[in-house]
Structure 1
Amino acid sequence: MKDKIKVWDLPVRLFHWILVLSFFIAYFTEEEFLTPHVYAGYVVIGLMVFRLIWGFTGSRFARFSNFICSPAKSLAYLKDLATSKAKRYIGHNPAGSAMILLLFISLLMICISGLAVYAAEEHAGPLARFGISHGDFWEEAHEFFANFTLFLVVLHVAGVIVESRLHGESLVKSMLTGYKLIKTKSEQ
């Protein structure tokens, strides 16, 4: 018999899926469709602010204190994962923790560089009044971090697939429903 446990609260799940949608809208619109690109970027900024606050005030599994760990622990987990000996976690595992931090930093850099590009090239946005120049530098940084984030997303999806197969559970389903199954002692 398996019991369910609520792991991902509605705010975390909405954050996750709206972030996915917003990132891809921004990534695929770029300069050709500046208005949706900018609006999607603003949504990402709002989501980042929300997640930072929710990381300190949210439910148990949403709190940073529940899953942030050392790089050594993340590397040890990846070693165990490579040998199919990785421990199952109800919330984020140590590799997931590292991925969240990398994605957060990369998305933050996209937002900062995007606002700078918007100010330098369009003389618009919250940074426009600061007279930002060097649009080429900011544009290169923006493009680099957008592509780096896409690379991280691919790694994240691969990790979700591997982890789901290793532990016989659907992590995608749990991010949709909020629930994970707790295995009984006879199943572990």
Structure 2
Amino acid sequence: MSAINDGIEAGGETPPASVKVWDPFVRVFHWSLVGLFLLAYATGDEIENVHIAAGYTIAGLLALRIAWGFVGPRNARFSDFVRSPRAVLAYMRDVALLRAPRYLGHNPAGGTMVVALIVTLIVTCSTGYMMTTGTFWGAKWVEEMHEAFANLTIGLVVVHVLGVLLASFEHSENLVKAMITGRKRAS
């Protein structure tokens, strides 16, 4: 999706005050993932059954989100928000100069973050599953990789939240509210 421009639509009509951006699946996925990851991270070795159940649920959510990234509505599709490294770097330069264009869906940095979080969570879930198998039971490197990717995910979440706050400030809109309501201002 290209950047949003202020203005009057063709025919001289004023655009609507807000538009639907995030469909219910994306919103439920997002907030469920937040809660489940926090639950899994908090329980770790302490409450193993809860930790494992949260991990399997996260893996199922990721599978659904990946499928939705190909068949869901426009703003949910990877083709709408996955950009080239050059486009992401150019966008990040514009962010640093406080002149980044506003996007209705994910901006190039946000799209990159979506992919990075999906990848780190897939590795975290995969290594978590591996630790329950006979082949990798007790394999220290698998446990260390699992913990490293869980911690990397926490780091990415922090960067994600900071990016959401910065974009909300820069474009004078509440992106957290948009992920709850599914709507953003039209221009």
TM-score, normalised on structure 2?
0.90
- Residue identity matched to 2:110: G
2:99 match: secondary structure: coil
Q: CA RMSD in A?
A: 1.1
Uncovered stretches (5+) of structure 2, i.e. residues with no partner: 1-13
Task: Pick from 86, 104, 119 the counterpart of residue 118 of structure 2.
Answer: 104
Alignment partners' CA distance in 2, 1:17 and 1:99: 16
How many Å apart are 1:101 and its aligned residue?
1.0
Please state if 1:73 is matched with 2:103. no
1:118 match: secondary structure: coil
Runs of 4+ in 1 over 3 A off after TM superposition: none
Alignment partners' CA distance in 2, 1:150 and 1:132: 25
- Residue identity matched to 2:160: H
Uncovered stretches (5+) of structure 1, i.e. residues with no partner: 120-127, 184-188
How many Å apart are 1:133 and its aligned residue?
4.5
1:81 match: secondary structure: helix
2:169 match: secondary structure: helix
Matches within 5 A, 1:81-160: 81-119=95-133, 128=134, 131-133=135-137, 135-160=139-164
8 Å Cα contact 1:116/1:135 also seen in 2: no
Alignment partners' CA distance in 1, 2:42 and 2:59: 17
- Residue identity matched to 1:28: A
Alignment partner, residue 27 of structure 1: 41
Alignment partner, residue 67 of structure 2: 53
How many Å apart are 1:118 and its aligned residue?
2.2
Identity among equivalent pairs (%): 46
Alignment partner, residue 38 of structure 1: 52
Number of residue pairs aligned between Structure 1 and Structure 2: 173
Alignment partners' CA distance in 2, 1:41 and 1:81: 34
Cα deviations across residues 111-135 of structure 1 (Å, max 9, x unaligned)? 111001122xxxxxxxx4xx33562
Cα deviations across residues 39-63 of structure 1 (Å, max 9, x unaligned)? 0001100000000110011011001
How many Å apart are 1:182 and its aligned residue?
1.3
Cα deviations across residues 149-186 of structure 1 (Å, max 9, x unaligned)? 00000000000000000000000000000000012xxx
Alignment partners' CA distance in 2, 1:169 and 1:48: 28
